[in-house]
């Protein structure tokens, strides 16, 4: 069922949550879930004129460096320069992406956000959107850089807040203001949390409409619905198995 983020009431919230749980149940990898989730919001969030309300939708999750595919390891290592990448280094990894530009429709096409290493607390705090995403779900930067099982276990029953920027233009939390201006991004809405297996995840919607606070508040429940769906799914790994190797370059782009 399509819906508008301008009028995202209780009925829309319940329907959306059920759709996401069903989508997750059919997946055997987190990457499959991520792809289904971003494509769901991109296709179903529609205005009265039938125009898509999302410019771009993305799904990120922290993945240890040692668990990344070789091509993703190479991408992440370039951010570090001469600094060695330990096997437990957490990388904020793009697992699902869709949007108005052809290059936004495959995670392998991402030229700047494919796998971002999070080596230190200072690095996380220096990236405004990442830092605010982490804060919004009730974690400290140190919990993402060096995950502690006792903290993550305490997060399992938490009702999450959302990352919500009503006015993206000029916001300190959205550094890519050229992207905002070029594509008419009005608002940014992120939701996520901590999976039962301990990974931090976040879905981010960049919209061409101004999302009202009431809609943003209802996405706390959507975050929990998605987590429940992933927890019940027959997940066998993070990535879709047997993907062909890809060539990845770092460029100043999405």
Write out pLDDT tens, residues 130-160: 999 888 877 888 888 988 765 555 555 554 6
Q: Does position 54 have pLDDT exceeding 80, yes or no?
A: yes
Q: Does position 243 have pLDDT exceeding 80, yes or no?
A: no
- Secondary structure, 3-state, 164-231: EECCCCCCCCCCCHHHHHHHCCCEEEEEEEECCCCCEEEEEEEECCCCCHHHHHHHHHHHHHHHHHHH
The whole-angstrom separation of Cα 170 and Cα 176 is 10
Cβ atoms 117, 81 nearer than 8 A: no
Write out pLDDT tens, residues 66-105: 999 998 998 899 888 888 889 999 999 999 999 999 999 9
Q: What is the mean pLDDT of residues 26-35?
A: 93
Q: What is the mean pLDDT of residues 157-176?
A: 86
Parallel/antiparallel/unpaired status of strands 200-207 and 163-165? unpaired
Q: Does position 245 have pLDDT exceeding 50, yes or no?
A: no
Structure tokens at 10: 């209780």
Q: What's the confidence (pLDDT) of residue 19?
A: 95
Please provide residue 63's backbone torsions phi and psi, each rounded to the nearest 5 degrees: -135, 130
CATH number of the domain at 5-232, please?
3.30.450.40
Q: Does position 193 have pLDDT exceeding 70, yes or no?
A: yes
Q: What's the confidence (pLDDT) of residue 65?
A: 95
Structure tokens at 49: 């004129």
The whole-angstrom separation of Cα 186 and Cα 8 is 17
Listed by start position, the domains of the chain span 5-232
Q: What's the confidence (pLDDT) of residue 244?
A: 47
138: DSSP letter: T
Helices (H), the chain: 10-25, 30-44, 70-80, 121-126, 128-136, 141-145, 149-155, 177-183, 213-232
The whole-angstrom separation of Cα 245 and Cα 67 is 15
> Which distant-in-sequence residues (6+ apart) come within 8 Å of 11 by Cβ?
none
Q: How confident is the model at residue 113 (pLDDT cuts 50, 70, 90)?
A: confident
The whole-angstrom separation of Cα 112 and Cα 114 is 6
Roughly how many angstroms between the first and final C-alpha of the chain, as a whole number?
29
Q: How many CB atoms lie within 10 A of CB 11?
A: 11
Q: Does position 246 have pLDDT exceeding 60, yes or no?
A: no
What is the widest separation between alpha-carbon atoms in the chain? 52
The whole-angstrom separation of Cα 15 and Cα 11 is 6
What predicted TM-score, i.e. pTM, was given to this entire model?
0.90
Q: Does position 242 have pLDDT exceeding 70, yes or no?
A: no
Average predicted confidence (pLDDT) for the chain: 88
Q: Compute the C-alpha angle 69/152/90, nearest 5°.
A: 30
């Amino acid at each position: 069922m399509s819906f508008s983020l301008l009028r995202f009431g209780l009925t829309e919230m319940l329907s959306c949550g059920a759709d996401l749980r069903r989508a997750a149940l059919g997946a055997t990898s987190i990457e499959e879930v991520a792809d289904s989730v971003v494509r769901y919001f991109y296709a179903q969030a529609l205005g009265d004129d039938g125009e898509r309300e999302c410019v771009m939708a993305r799904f990120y999750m922290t993945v240890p460096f040692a668990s990344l595919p070789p091509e993703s390891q190479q991408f992440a290592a370039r951010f570090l320069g001469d600094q060695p990448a330990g096997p437990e280094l957490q990388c904020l990894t793009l697992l699902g992406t869709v949007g108005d530009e052809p290059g936004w429709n495959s995670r392998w096409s991402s030229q700047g956000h494919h796998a971002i290493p999070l080596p230190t607390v200072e690095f996380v705090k220096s990236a405004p959107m990442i830092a605010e995403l982490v804060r919004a779900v009730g974690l400290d930067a140190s919990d993402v850089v060096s995950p502690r099982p006792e903290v993550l276990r305490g997060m399992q029953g938490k009702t999450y807040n959302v990352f919500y920027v009503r006015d993206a233009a000029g916001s300190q939390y959205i550094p890519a203001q050229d992207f905002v201006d070029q594509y008419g991004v009005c608002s940014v809405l992120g939701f996520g949390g901590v999976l039962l297996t301990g990974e931090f995840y976040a879905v981010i919607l960049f919209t061409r409409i101004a999302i009202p606070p009431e809609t943003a508040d209802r996405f706390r429940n959507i975050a929990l619905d998605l987590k429940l769906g992933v927890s019940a799914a027959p997940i066998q790994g993070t990535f879709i198995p047997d993907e062909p190797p890809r060539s990845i370059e770092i460029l100043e782009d999405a």
